[in-house]
A and B are shown apart, each in its own frame.
Chain A
Amino acid sequence: MSGLSKVRSVVFKNATPILLAIFAIFVVVKMPVFFTPDNLISLSSQGAIWGLAAIGMTMLIITGVTDVSVGSQIYLGGVITVRVFQATESMVLGLLCSILVCMAVSAFNGFAIVKVGLPSMITTLAVQQVCNGTASLIIGKDSVITMPDEFSVWGQTRVLGLPISAVLFLALFVVGCVVMNCTKFGRYVYAIGNNSDAMAASGVNVFRIREITFIITGILCGIAGTFNVSRIGGAQFNMGIQMEFSCMAAVVVGGTSMLGGSGNMIGTLLGVFVIAALDQLLRMFSVSVYLYNVFWGGIVLFTVSMDLLKKYQERHERELKNLAAQEDEQS
């Protein structure tokens, strides 16, 4: 391989990490204010909410499906927590109900996509609309519900200087890491994303494994929903919208391929940090909301394109290798 194509190969394969490194250096040099405790706490309490869902999303994307309904599930779960708390004064019950509802929604997603065979994009998009609408109906015409102070206890208590949601996120993240790397279940998830037919031929119940990944995502969305409303201190219209996008962005920036079969949890953790940091940064610059959207879309497009280029590059190199091997054989 010539020098130039070697450079090209390295750049293609590591485009996202290289870009992130440049970004990190830029922030450190230019914006020391970014690293003040207040700023970091605000960042982590926001990022932790959709970061929870990103744990499940990583599993889903590794099996080869995308779920664009997670943001709406978080919205719906939050609204349900609010209503249950109003009725029972119990945060725990609110959490349980939120988890149950989101679990049911995700289980439905899984059934429709895996068992029935509906395409994941349109199915979860439709479910997203249903959840959004239902949640808004439950909020009612006031569009905002303000809650008493005790409702905000979970969202505003600090453990070791961090919000509970952030601690919970880190803990569940560690569990997710272990599940994906050390258990049979995790190995099956990867294998299904690689070649689900081959997995079925190996005698593993593919539907069960995939359904479980959906249910895990649902549970995580339920937890995220409760902490979201507790952090805000109430519910309002359309909170959680676009969270699925932050989720997906974090997962792909973390190196999980949208084509399925490869990726890892640690990458997602980094991705969550990066996306949350970028988010915060854009807010600090008070970038216009429109420009903000353009920026997010651009980042995700860039990362998935780079992933594809990386695949091409790898295939190209493999072909070259095979060609060389064949020539060896002939000579």
Chain B
Amino acid sequence: MEQKEKDYLVIEDIHKSFYGVEVLKGVSFSAAAGEVHGLLGGNGAGKSTLMNILGGIYSKDSGRIFIDGKEANITDSKAAERAGIAFIHQELKLFGLRSVAENIMISNLPTKGPFHFVDDKKKNEIAKQYLDEVGLQVSPTTRLDELSIAEQQQVEIAKALSLNAKVLIFDEPTSSLTSRETNILFGIIRQLKKNGACIIYISHKSDEIFEICDKVSVLRNGENVGTRDTANTTNDELVSLIIGRKLDQYFPELPPAPGPEAETVLEVKGLVNKKLNGVSFALRKGEILGLFGLMGAGRSETARAIFGLDHLFSGEIYMEGSQVKISSPRKAMKTGISFLTENRREEGLVLNADIRKNLTFPILSRVSVPGIGCIRAKTEMSLVKEAFKRFLIKATGPEQRAATLSGGNQQKVVLSKWFMTDSKVLILDEPTRGVDIGAKAEIYQLITEMVEKGLSVILISCEESEMMGMCHRILVMRDGEIIGEFQRDETTQEELVGLCIGGKAV
């Protein structure tokens, strides 16, 4: 209790449910003035819900919030502002076509005279003070959208200071900054800290947490599973807190690699087009084959060619021993090949449709009355419900719009969609990009389960650890050619990376 009384911001036992689903299950943590407190956790861990409660966007079901020793009753965003809490949003909440000064001062514009006209001179003067405080050298009369994203973020910080904010919440502030801009931001944060601000820093990037934070708390499933001093913890410890188990259990145990005697499902010979210079390989039943390489090395291009998205100049494709001609994705799917593209939002999902529709797009013929095409809602729904259970999709229900799901859950929907097609070969292009660490582990688990049931997978990724952790066999590509082949245990991450940036072929 001693410690808590010293802390500037104390959050005690916060509960919050949406539609009967408990999102926060009694979260407590506290942060002192002059402290940068990191907040880690997977998507859906409750970070943003908790922060929205602090910001007055949501109201809490129970629990208490103390600021500077006094209980704060935060009912709306105005109340949060009065309590001295300010958000620096991931997507900036600013007015692009207005001046910098106007942006900073919008909620307390100074006025003068009998008609209370806005006092622009005073407005610019005050704004200039706050700009100086964050070290941004621009005129207060500049139009905001003439600034870079990093500068706009500094304007948002200046705005928070103008509101007398003592608790500043940064929500993944570096996601669109360059490394130099990140350093400038960290300079500002250190300065704010020196001035006695209490800073909450939300991020996915653990190197940032270690660089800027004094303490870090990890949320998982709506609970605070641990607060550590960054000086006394390790990245591995944080990762295992986030995913709730040890790091070496992060990748699931793969089924044994099929031997050379195993049946070959897909074989390609001498694929050539604009980007490919003769790619040949064979995929065995129940195998996870990794395609590794830099961007533009021909990984995705190979997949696109096999799936009929890109035109082939020459080359042959064999499916279970017999040659097939794949001229379109439709043909590819008929032959039993599915493809999860790297552009989840553009090509993987119909964002405006609900989960149910997204799940059954490729299998509509299976859920509809043959010959008539009318969809049997019951059959469809039972399939969808099964998918929810089997593939661990976290959503309010089958009717939730895909656009409103977290990245990890969107990816699970796309994966389930292809799993349900009963394809023989599934090509996964960057299946865990933009997915938080908890969902990542779940996706790996799903892939493994499907492979155990006999699916063959081609996994494309630019993460070495994913290659090493998830593939039976790894092919390294460069300049549209396969320049190396490894069994899982035969290589190291260093060797893989060295090879694809121009080392010696094996």
Tell me the bound Cα distance from A198 to B95 in angstroms.
Answer: 8
Contact A191 B106 (CB under 8 A): yes
Contact B93 A261 (CB under 8 A): no
Q: Is B214 an interface residue (CB 8 A)?
A: no
Which of A201, A318, A322 has a CB less than 8 Å from the CB of B93?
A201
Please indicate the chain B residues that have their CB under 8 angstroms from the CB of A187 in the complex.
Answer: 102, 106, 109, 118
Tell me the bound Cα distance from A204 to B77 in angstroms.
Answer: 10
Identify which of residues 165-206 in chain A touch chain B, using a CB-to-CB cut-off of 8 Å: 178, 182-184, 186-188, 190-191, 194-195, 197-204
The chain A residue with its CB closest to the CB of B76 is: A203
Tell me the bound Cα distance from A200 to B81 in angstroms.
Answer: 12
Extra pairs beyond A194-B97, A199-B106, A325-B148 (9, CB < 8 Å): A182-B117, A183-B117, A183-B118, A184-B109, A188-B106, A190-B95, A191-B98, A195-B93, A195-B95
Q: Scan B140-161; emit 1 where CB is below 8 A from any A CB, else 0.
A: 0000011010000000000000
Please indicate the chain A residues that have their CB under 8 angstroms from the CB of B115 in the complex.
Answer: 182-183
Q: Is B96 an interface residue (CB 8 A)?
A: yes
Q: Is A329 an interface residue (CB 8 A)?
A: yes
Which of B76, B93, B107, B178 has a CB less than 8 Å from the CB of A329?
B178
Contact A195 B78 (CB under 8 A): no
User: Nearest-CB distance from A6 to chain B (Å)?
Assistant: 18
Contacts from A to B (Cβ < 8 Å): 178, 182-184, 186-188, 190-191, 194-195, 197-204, 261-262, 318, 322, 325-326, 329
Contact B146 A318 (CB under 8 A): yes
Closest 10 CB pairs of A and B: A194-B95, A198-B93, A203-B78, A182-B117, A202-B107, A262-B97, A261-B97, A191-B95, A184-B109, A195-B95
Please indicate the chain A residues that have their CB under 8 angstroms from the CB of B93 in the complex.
Answer: 195, 197-198, 201
The chain A residue with its CB closest to the CB of B87 is: A201
Q: Scan B35-78; emit 1 where CB is below 8 A from any A CB, else 0.
A: 00000000000000000000000000000000000000000111
Tell me the bound Cα distance from A187 to B116 in angstroms.
Answer: 13
Tell me the bound Cα distance from A186 to B146 in angstroms.
Answer: 22
Tell me the bound Cα distance from A85 to B26 in angstroms.
Answer: 69
Please indicate the chain B residues that have their CB under 8 angstroms from the CB of A200 in the complex.
Answer: 77
User: Nearest-CB distance from A301 to chain B (Å)?
Assistant: 23
User: Nearest-CB distance from B88 to chain A (Å)?
Assistant: 12
Tell me the bound Cα distance from A265 to B270 in angstroms.
Answer: 67
Identify which of residues 136-192 in chain B touch chain A, using a CB-to-CB cut-off of 8 Å: 145-146, 148, 178, 180
Q: Is B111 an interface residue (CB 8 A)?
A: yes
Contact A318 B106 (CB under 8 A): no
Please indicate the chain A residues that have their CB under 8 angstroms from the CB of B111 in the complex.
Answer: 184
Q: How many residues of B contact A (CB 8 A)?
A: 25
Please indicate the chain A residues that have their CB under 8 angstroms from the CB of B475 in the complex.
Answer: none
**Interface of A: prevailing SS:** helix
User: Nearest-CB distance from B111 to chain A (Å)?
Assistant: 7
Contact B107 A204 (CB under 8 A): yes
User: Nearest-CB distance from B123 to chain A (Å)?
Assistant: 9
The chain A residue with its CB closest to the CB of B112 is: A182
Tell me the bound Cα distance from A329 to B178 in angstroms.
Answer: 9
Identify which of residues 294-333 in chain B touch chain A, using a CB-to-CB cut-off of 8 Å: none
Q: Is B94 an interface residue (CB 8 A)?
A: yes
Tell me the bound Cα distance from A190 to B488 in angstroms.
Answer: 60
Please indicate the chain A residues that have their CB under 8 angstroms from the CB of B81 in the complex.
Answer: 203
Which of A178, A183, A198, A318 has a CB less than 8 Å from the CB of B145?
A318
The chain B residue with its CB closest to the CB of A314 is: B145
Tell me the bound Cα distance from A191 to B116 in angstroms.
Answer: 19
A–B Cβ pairs within 8 angstroms, 25 of them: A182-B115, A182-B117, A183-B116, A183-B118, A186-B118, A187-B102, A187-B118, A188-B106, A190-B95, A190-B97, A190-B98, A194-B96, A195-B93, A195-B96, A198-B94, A198-B95, A202-B77, A203-B76, A203-B107, A204-B106, A261-B95, A262-B97, A318-B145, A322-B148, A325-B148
Tell me the bound Cα distance from A318 to B87 in angstroms.
Answer: 26
Please indicate the chain B residues that have their CB under 8 angstroms from the CB of A325 in the complex.
Answer: 148
The chain A residue with its CB closest to the CB of B57 is: A201
Please indicate the chain B residues that have their CB under 8 angstroms from the CB of A188 in the complex.
Answer: 106
Contact A329 B180 (CB under 8 A): yes
Identify which of residues 97-111 in chain B touch chain A, using a CB-to-CB cut-off of 8 Å: 97-98, 102, 106-107, 109, 111
Please indicate the chain A residues that have their CB under 8 angstroms from the CB of B117 in the complex.
Answer: 178, 182-183
Please indicate the chain A residues that have their CB under 8 angstroms from the CB of B97 in the complex.
Answer: 190, 194, 261-262
The chain A residue with its CB closest to the CB of B110 is: A184
The chain B residue with its CB closest to the CB of A330 is: B178
The chain B residue with its CB closest to the CB of A197 is: B93
User: Nearest-CB distance from B300 to chain A (Å)?
Assistant: 25
Interface centre among B95, B96, B118 (most CB of A within 10 A): B95
